[in-house]
Amino acid sequence: MERESSSNNEQDEWSASECGFNDPEVQRVMRGGSAAEDITQYPIHGWVDVTQEFHEACAELLPGELAQDMLFGLFEAMSAIEIMDPKMDVGMGFDKFDLPPPSFEAAVAMGAIKLDALEPAELIGIFDALFACLVSWLEGNSMDQVLFTCLYLHAPSQIQDKALRVFCIAVRNLIVVIKNIIILAAVNEEEDFQLYGNSALLAAEKAQPATIAGQLKDVEDELVRKCKKLPPAEDQNLMAVVHRLRFMRHLFQAIYQVELMASAESAEEAVNEIYKNLNVASELLPLIKRTIERGTQPVEGSEAPNPMGFSPRIHDRSQPPTFPRSIKIRERPASYQFLEEMVARFKYACKVIRHKDYYSALVSSSWLSSGILFYLSCLLQNFFIEYSRKSGHCILSRSVLQNLFSSSIRVAHGKQSMKRFLRHSVQAFNSPPVLNLKHPVASDPKVQQHLETFFRYCINMNTFNQFIRLCGFNRARQRDKLAHLIENFDPLQVDAVRLDSLMNQMANERAMEGNELHATALKHSTHFSTWVLYNCFRAMLIYLMSGFELELYAVHEFLYIYWYPYEFLVGFLVSALTRTENILLAQEEYAEHQSKMQVNGGGGGAGGKSRKAAKPKKNKKQQRPYRQEIIYYHALLSLCGGMYKAMGALTKDGRVRLPMSKFDNEEIRYNRRFAPFVPLTSPPPVSYVEFKSIRDHMMLCSVEELYSMAAKHFDQARNVLESIQNPEQEILDLLQIARTNFVVMNVLARGHQKEVKRQPEFDFSKHSYFPIMKLK
Amino acid sequence: MSTEQPPAESAENESKFKPMIFTNQPDEETDVKLSPGRRNLKKWLGRMVRVTLKNKLTLIGIFSCTDHDQNLVIAHCDTFLPDDMTALSYGNVMVPGNEIVAFEVEMQQETATPDEKKTN
């Protein structure tokens, strides 16, 4: 306030505000004296109404002209909430409801909510609305704005109606349990889930999750008895109430047991118990969905999810200022749909954990069955990747899997769980004899020491752990975190290579000593480096391809995105797998004829040329553990090649819209897309210049040639995919993509639509990595 | 490629929009040249203002920015419901110009007599 009056006579001095303190916090302190300024001190001088002058003054400004406070900048402008905007503003709509939102006590006093003798229809309405709130909470809304708009949840113990009371207590306990699970898994981000809410409300009544199931069961039994006394035509509504209570009981039990797993003795038993509960819950859901309309329905135009018991704006004024205000609670049928899918995902998660136990039990028994082992461990990791794709935005599903996994490996392997898990992972991948406890070489102290160092290093780097954890995050964050994870693989690779060479060195020493058995076991070992590389390649591939799913790439960028896996990544994966397969086969052979072994036949890890290695020895087909995966990657290779050449052809044909050249710098974009791969020494980064020369070479061909080359790739992919027996849905989808694109490429090669240079449509709806190209 | 383009086209691509900003930075020389309305705005900027909206919501905060259409940005804004003295803190707020009913500035009323100083 003094600034203006003093500015005249203190022209030589800098006032504080002129010194460029643009930080809003500083600004605030300077202006108000303290950050927690008391608004009630105003007016100090008095309010002067200048409305008219203000109108006139603003009218003098030119369109686009701004009058600004000197401390006001872009940052402040961006952080401003638009008042009266329905999405941002709490004030919006307050005048629609003249009365302040009633609290629980007020509502009881007014007689707006019933505490006793609720009709079945009312119960169904409230239960359905609460499930809808629960789902909305899991979708990322604040629990205050969804669940705690239900006044009944504020004080369940005061409710006399037993069914409602027990249900409300169950919901409150469920909130606590779900929160714990999500906190424990720690794969949530602010956009997924609001951890914070009105915990003061939760604290008022003690949580006793262990008693919930019993209480629910009692009420159920009571209601069922009541049902039996009613004439058969009238018991329908009451049975619908019972179904909801029962569903709640089983869902609660399942989720509660996931939380308990953290301290459980036997993982298998717990998982079986969870699975049983989930089964019952999923059987109840169709019954519940059919009776939704038996309950009271929300009033048209009202924000409350149910006419009685909800007060949608009760917490509006207790939320932080910039909090989203307008909450849409899910519709009831959609909520049950969500729950149904969630239960199905939980069941799926349980299944793999059971597999997982099976697998760890197998590991100790025999190393000859490594094929199955690998399949299972592969299943586990693929599973995590797959699961992450399916569960998408459901934070609870993702958290549950993480918890099931971490507690089951803890139970399976005890204290040193991660080290054991990693050992098993390598063993399952390529079964190095040094990890096989029955093999005499495993007890060699020197070998043990080296292994110990390597695994400790792996654990300290935390890379593998993170890879699995990472799959729990939502897809966008996953990609972000993968970029950092890939970097970590580099030191691991260095260490794994060192370990391998140490093993080879020791093989020579043992051979000199005449210890033939140990020498062969140690010789030609590339086990560990292959294992690390394989994982690294996969992380890279997921990183690159997830950009399609997240719609990050522009069409004109597709060319180099597909080029990289075609030229390098997928090929590397195939050769890593082929090499591993050869090692395994060689080991098996060696075990079969202990004396006459032909290790040099293929065990040498000579970096077998992928295309040749997959085909020979037809009689060994069943024993080739990687066959499926190699075939799959071959198909990916052809598809990537097809897309790469197709993009080249379309670009040359002038069918791809390119950015205006003066705004464009392809090198920068290229470098940015592959930035996370730069720190890796293996595979070495590929510079833009290299890419450019390869592309320019390809572009020498005529457009027609390019189209037919692309068609050839798609044809190859089709052939490979068709050879897969009992294909999964993904394979069938890829097959359709390969077929359609083959036809499109052929059509274009023949000069169809030669005059109209329209960009084809890229439809990623069948598969997140590969589009179907559509000519308009 | 970019060099081939004639210079005339690049001039065409340039935005015709020239941002014009004046602040309440003390500057005697330009102050004289400003129109009376702008001088008024300059006087009010950075002060506490009380704005009443069409829906009777009252906002109190620091007047930070405005434009031709009377859109306002108010920093450290508190809102009051009618007949309710409890403030709700909002942070920075953008108010659409067409919602404003009354605009009051917290300052000494230069022209008014001492009795009218406290209008509230």
Write out pLDDT tens, residues A380-401: 555 666 666 666 567 787 787 7
pLDDT value of position A717: 95
Q: Residue A375 pLDDT > 60, yes or no?
A: no
The neighbouring-strand residues paired with A193 are none
B40/A43 touch (CB, cutoff 8 Å), yes or no:
no
The encoded tokens of residue A497 equal 């290579």
Q: Residue A49 pLDDT > 80, yes or no?
A: yes
CB contact residues (below 8 A), chain A span 475-514, against chain B: none
pLDDT value of position A61: 87
When mean pLDDT is compared across A254-263, A334-343, A548-557, the lowest value belongs to: A254-263
pLDDT value of position A692: 94
For residue A660, what is the nearest residue in chain B, using CA coordinates?
B2
Please report which helix (H) or strand (E) contains residue A695, including its range: helix A688-699
| Confidence class for position A139, pLDDT limits 50, 70, 90 | confident
A83/B53 touch (CB, cutoff 8 Å), yes or no:
yes
Between residues A680 and A465, the one the model is more confident about: A680
Residue A748 domain-assigned (yes or no): yes
Q: Residue A600 pLDDT > 50, yes or no?
A: no
Nearest-CB residue to B24 (from A42, A60, A69): A69
pLDDT in tens, chain B (120 residues): 444 444 444 445 555 666 688 887 777 667 677 788 888 888 888 889 999 988 788 889 999 999 889 999 998 888 887 776 767 767 788 888 888 999 999 887 764 333 333 444
**Domain boundary at A288, A311, A332, which?**
A332
| Confidence class for position A209, pLDDT limits 50, 70, 90 | confident
On whether ipTM exceeds 0.85, the answer is no
Residues A768, B2: Cα–Cα separation, whole Å: 36
For residue A96, what is the nearest residue in chain B, using CA coordinates?
B55
Considering the domain architecture, whether residues A173 and A279 belong to the same structural domain is answered as yes
- Looking at the complex, report in whole angstroms how far the Cα of residue A97 sits from the nearest Cα belonging to chain B: 12
Contact residues on chain B for A12, CB-CB shorter than 8 A: none
Spacing of C-alpha A151 from chain mean position:
34
Considering the domain architecture, whether residues A494 and A624 belong to the same structural domain is answered as no
Domain hosting A241: range is 110-332
Contact residues on chain B for A82, CB-CB shorter than 8 A: 93-94, 96
Considering the domain architecture, whether residues A526 and A572 belong to the same structural domain is answered as no
Nearest-CB residue to B92 (from A46, A48, A76): A76
Q: Is B46 helix (H, G, I), strand (E, B) or coil?
A: coil
Nearest-CB residue to B105 (from A50, A56, A66): A50
Nearest-CB residue to B96 (from A53, A58, A84): A84
Contact residues on chain B for A322, CB-CB shorter than 8 A: 91
Considering the domain architecture, whether residues A51 and A124 belong to the same structural domain is answered as no
Indicate if the alpha-carbon torsion angle A527, A528, A531, A537 is positive or negative.
Answer: negative
Q: Residue A543 pLDDT > 80, yes or no?
A: yes
The encoded tokens of residue A346 equal 């939980």
pLDDT value of position B15: 58
Contact residues on chain B for A97, CB-CB shorter than 8 A: none
Q: Could you tell me which of A640, A685, A659, A706 has the C-alpha nearest to residue A554?
A: A659
**Domain boundary at A489, A520, A552, which?**
A552
pTM score, whole prediction: 0.70
**Domain boundary at A332, A351, A381, which?**
A332
pLDDT value of position A747: 92
pLDDT value of position A439: 74
B46/A45 touch (CB, cutoff 8 Å), yes or no:
no
Spacing of C-alpha A759 from chain mean position:
32
Number of domains in chain A: 4
What is the overall mean pLDDT for chain A?
78
Between residues A244 and B82, the one the model is more confident about: A244
Residue A229 domain-assigned (yes or no): yes
Q: Residue A624 pLDDT > 80, yes or no?
A: no
Among the ranges A342-351, A534-543, A624-633, which has the highest mean pLDDT value? A534-543
Mean pLDDT of A180-201: 77
Nearest-CB residue to A46 (from B35, B66, B120): B120
Q: Residue A613 pLDDT > 60, yes or no?
A: no
- Looking at the complex, report in whole angstroms how far the Cα of residue B104 sits from the nearest Cα belonging to chain A: 4
Selected for mutation to probe chain A from B50, B72, B73 (highest A CB count within 10 Å) is B73
Considering the domain architecture, whether residues A497 and A590 belong to the same structural domain is answered as no
CB contact residues (below 8 A), chain A span 657-696, against chain B: 661-662
Considering the domain architecture, whether residues A466 and A612 belong to the same structural domain is answered as no
CB contact residues (below 8 A), chain A span 36-75, against chain B: 37, 39-40, 42-51, 53-72
Considering the domain architecture, whether residues A758 and A740 belong to the same structural domain is answered as yes
B104/A56 touch (CB, cutoff 8 Å), yes or no:
no
Mean pLDDT of A61-82: 83
Task: Say which residue the tokens 């899910």 belong to.
Answer: A330
Nearest-CB residue to B90 (from A15, A45, A81): A81
| Confidence class for position A472, pLDDT limits 50, 70, 90 | confident
| Confidence class for position A244, pLDDT limits 50, 70, 90 | very high
Quickly name the fold that domain B45-106 has. SH3 type barrels. (2.30.30)
What phi, psi does B79 have (nearest 5°)? -115, 150
Judge whether A256 and A177 are in contact, CB under 8 Å: yes
pLDDT value of position A380: 54
pLDDT value of position A359: 40
List of long-range contacts for A652-660, beta carbons under 8 Å, 24+ apart: A652/A699, A652/A703, A652/A706, A653/A703, A653/A748, A653/A757, A654/A757, A655/A757, A655/A758, A655/A759, A655/A760, A656/A555, A656/A556, A656/A759, A657/A555, A657/A556, A657/A759, A658/A556, A659/A554, A659/A556
pLDDT value of position A771: 94
For residue A35, what is the nearest residue in chain B, using CA coordinates?
B76
Contact residues on chain B for A72, CB-CB shorter than 8 A: 23, 64-65, 73, 75
Contact residues on chain B for A66, CB-CB shorter than 8 A: 19-22, 65-67
Among the ranges A106-110, A403-407, A709-713, which has the highest mean pLDDT value? A709-713
Mean pLDDT of A626-650: 91
Write out pLDDT tens, residues B95-115: 888 889 999 998 877 643 333
Which amino acid, B25? Q
pLDDT value of position A411: 55
A66/B103 touch (CB, cutoff 8 Å), yes or no:
no
Q: Residue A640 pLDDT > 80, yes or no?
A: yes
Mean pLDDT of A485-513: 86
Mean pLDDT of A584-611: 54
Residue A272 domain-assigned (yes or no): yes
B73/A72 touch (CB, cutoff 8 Å), yes or no:
yes
For residue A43, what is the nearest residue in chain B, using CA coordinates?
B106
Q: How many CB pairs under 8 A join A and B?
A: 225
Q: Residue A617 pLDDT > 50, yes or no?
A: no
